[in-house]
Chain A
Amino acid sequence: MIYLIDDKKIRQERDYKWTDDRFENFKSLIKTIYTLDELQEKDTDIFQEGNVILYHESFLDSTNIANEASDKRRRLDNFAKNTNSYLALFSGSKNTRYFDGNVANLPVSVLYSNLETFIQKAKGGDINLKFLLFGENPLITKELDDKIDSALFNTINEKATKAGNINLFIEPAERNINDPLTGSVIQTIFSDTDQEFTQKINEWLCEKSYDNIFIPLCFGNTLLDYNGLRLACHIRCSPSKNQTTRIFIYGVVGADYLIHNECFNILKTKNTSLISFSKKAIGESALKPKEHFSKVELPSELAKLKLDVPQNYYDNHAIANEWGIYQMARNANINIKDIDGFDFEKISSLYFKWLIAKNNLNEPISEEQQKQQREYLIKIEGPKIIGKIELPKTKG
């Protein structure tokens, strides 16, 4: 059994989205303790060999036994070491992940971010605190994490390049390079969802044209998702003033680490490069001469991408239907927003945007087609579809 001993329920719910309902899904595996009374009441159950104790370091600090807090933590540590149990101490005053046998120390954000993975692994009988520290793929994530720390450290004494506001420098919410391009426009990306990417592209890229866009390779909940590749795909697939602007993705690993990523092929398209996580590489890239890349070339470039159907679709028939509706509406010159029952969030998904962009459907239908439709409208009721409707192949 996993025992989560944390007095900060508001933080749990608001900041990390671990609500009572979410815990309820795992009630056979994890129990939550919020008060000293609860802890004392259940201590016999908690301190059993083989249990996992996730303990907020300051749990006792606001109780009447605050002066025993330090000693209790050491006893917990000894209990874990001497009884083949597991202990994870987490706190808002920790910023490193530290692992020593069956005792781990970690920041609170890391704990809640990886808790579900840890529970799922424990459900399958694989209790390993490394999953709590580093998520689904501990080895590679730790390697990546260390590489980012080291690369960031090396930037401290690097000099910035004067580059001007024709550069958009997108930085992650954490572990960002400080001022690599003096004068550039800096924006921070907080989330890694398709909806967030769509929103940010609308905010940042539709009014001002840039010469270069710099994107972090790793950001969001899971470093290994290499979300920078996905954001670059979004930029290429979203109509904006910067749809073909040169993109540099700065990261700590080479292409060999990324080859299995769904969005890897964006690196095979024109005007998109992977560069090192350093001020020097960013500065040099910003000063490189521009290469011509027109919108006419986009569909053929985007055809190089091989994106998977999103998992939230029921099956391939479902997306084929949605896609069919979208194309019919477009060909009929009907705004998709006027179609009742259509899931508009789908249009924010990278997959849908890619289908639209590679089929060059962001452009309005031709005047000639519109004229023909007007002529047909006189003869028949309802929309008449002229043109090609491409349905993605369905499974089986």
Chain B
Amino acid sequence: MAKDKYDFIQELLENNKLSSSQRERVLLLVKEEIRKEGLIGKSLAAIGKSLADRLAIIEELLNVKDNSEENNQDLPIYFDSLHLYKYLVDYNQNPILKSTCHEIDSNELENILEYCKTAEYDFEKHLRKILDAFREHDKKPAPYKVKALIRGYLTGKDFKEIPIKGWTTDKISHNWSSPELLQWSLNNKGVPPNVDKGLMMNLKKRGYQLSKPFITENGNGIYSFSHLVLHFKCLFHIRSDNSLKNIIRNYNRARGWEAQIDFEISDSTFPNNIEIFTNVDKLLQAYKGIIELVLEQSNGQMVKPVVRLSLKVKGDSVEFSIFHVGSVYGKTIEDTTRRLGNKYRGLIKNQINGLCKFYLQADFEAGGSYRVGIWDQPDLWKKIKPIPATRLDKPIGGVEHIFEIVKSNI
């Protein structure tokens, strides 16, 4: 990939030898650069937004410090989660990249032969096209973590081109650029590694079988490259057969939470048929953070806490609610809107920024019920202080955390 000046800036900012003040200085220069680009006749709005997004990525990546408020020094710049949605949907529908998240059938094989300009399937050429398409696709703004996930899956390297031990929390070492896969392809000319069953029966040749099958963190067995490809798809596309409800249930079970918490999950309030394109791994980590809060809150109590989980479509978004029934929020509304606690700060920094909007809706111990947008717009906790809160007409009967995830194009 040809490096542009923003790649250079990104690399510069990642240099550990740079002090905070030097980084800030570089950032100021970047801002100046963006301003200049906006003046050279192109669409100011479009270019300005795109570059600002890239700046946000860089800052998110580096957790650039903002000294404007001592309390919120290390909060990232707000990153709109719409970017994540678009990045993943476009990946899924990309004419070339879609072959990395679906099995390859005769139709897809025809497409590949056409864009690779070969008469027979050639893995090396296909891979080159995939990597080219990814480099182009990766110019779109998205949270660094999802970019790292896909880069790891396709290249086995990080963005500095350094080989990684594995991608996802499972640290999966198999990827599209594995030497083992390349070697297999040389011995299996004409066969896509993630061949679909029908095409496999036609060719009478199987796709790439993993030399050592393994079990993912969510308990699935991965035996072949096709399994790996379908597993990868499950990491960003939630749908009926990979529903959030089932994912959450498995996640709760794997962590023994079902013994500690009474989960209320009903089919009517948590339907299976809501599709979401998101970073499932990060969403689960954010969910884990909230459940840990519930467990902390309930520590020492005789009665098991009750957590009601629900999922609903709201306009162009989906709201995933984690409702701790019967609980009250321990802080005052003044404190809540003025100081971001360490737990929320960690969640925002590590999971939520760029993934979803984040709301708190609760009955407060000191009285009153409020809805607070903890992370739902730019410049919160910096310029505006206290952050806005809406008083609710009546108590809601507990403490509710809501992740608002973009589900379709706005």
Residues of A within 8 A of B (CB): 8-11, 14-16, 57-58, 61-62, 66-71, 73-74, 77-78, 89, 91-96, 98, 100, 103, 105, 107-109, 112, 149, 152-153, 156, 173-176, 178-179, 188, 190-191
Contact = CB atoms under 8 A, between A and B. Distances in A.
B241 to A, nearest CB: 4
B198 A16 contact: yes
Nearest to B196: A92
Contacts of A66: 93
Nearest to A157: B215
B102 interface: yes
Contacts of B206: 173, 188
Contact of A93 (B201, B202, B212, B230): B230
A178 B409 contact: no
Contact of B196 (A73, A74, A109, A178): A109
Interface of B: 89, 92-93, 95, 98, 101-108, 110, 196-202, 204, 206, 209-215, 221, 223, 226-227, 229-230, 233, 237, 239-241, 272-275, 277, 313, 407-409
Given A15-B202, A94-B241, A96-B241, A109 B106 contact: no
A10 B110 contact: yes
B219 to A, nearest CB: 9
A112 B201 CA distance: 13
A363 to B, nearest CB: 33
Contacts of A175: 223
Contacts of A191: 201, 204
Contacts of B104: 92
Contacts of B240: 77, 89, 98, 100, 103, 105
A95 B227 contact: yes
Contacts of B92: 61
Contacts of A11: 105-108, 196, 198-199
B107 A156 contact: no
Contact of A61 (B93, B202, B214): B93
Given A15-B202, A93-B102, A190-B201, 8 more contacts: A11-B107, A14-B106, A61-B98, A71-B408, A152-B223, A156-B214, A156-B215, A156-B221
Contact of A74 (B110, B213, B274): B274
Given A14-B202, A153-B215, A156-B214, A70 B93 contact: no
Contacts of B409: 67
Contacts of A108: 105, 196, 198
A226 B230 CA distance: 28
Nearest to A13: B106
Given A152-B221, A178-B223, A77 B107 contact: no
B273 A74 contact: yes
B271 to A, nearest CB: 9
Nearest to A156: B213
Looking at B95, B198, B204, B233, which has the most chain A CB atoms within 10 Å of its CB? Answer: B198
Given A61-B93, A156-B213, A176-B209, A93 B103 contact: yes
Contacts, number: 126
21 contacts: A10-B106, A11-B108, A14-B198, A14-B199, A58-B102, A61-B92, A66-B93, A69-B93, A70-B89, A70-B408, A77-B273, A78-B273, A94-B230, A107-B197, A109-B198, A149-B221, A178-B210, A190-B200, A190-B204, A191-B201, A191-B204
Contacts of B273: 74, 77-78, 103
A112 B197 CA distance: 11
Contacts of A14: 106, 198-199, 202
Contacts of B227: 95
A15 B201 contact: yes
Contacts of B210: 178
Nearest to B209: A178
Contacts of B209: 176, 178
B106 A67 contact: no
A36 B108 CA distance: 19
B295 to A, nearest CB: 30
A104 to B, nearest CB: 9
Contacts of A10: 106-107, 110
Contacts of B408: 67-68, 70-71
Nearest 8 pairs of A and B residues by beta carbon: A15-B198, A109-B197, A105-B241, A8-B107, A11-B105, A77-B273, A98-B241, A14-B106
A68 B240 CA distance: 17
A98 B273 CA distance: 12
Looking at B103, B104, B197, B241, which has the most chain A CB atoms within 10 Å of its CB? Answer: B241
Contacts of B230: 93-95
A98 B272 CA distance: 11
A122 B286 CA distance: 46
Contacts of A73: 239, 275
Contacts of A109: 196-198
Contacts of A8: 105-107
Nearest to B99: A92
Contacts of B213: 156, 178
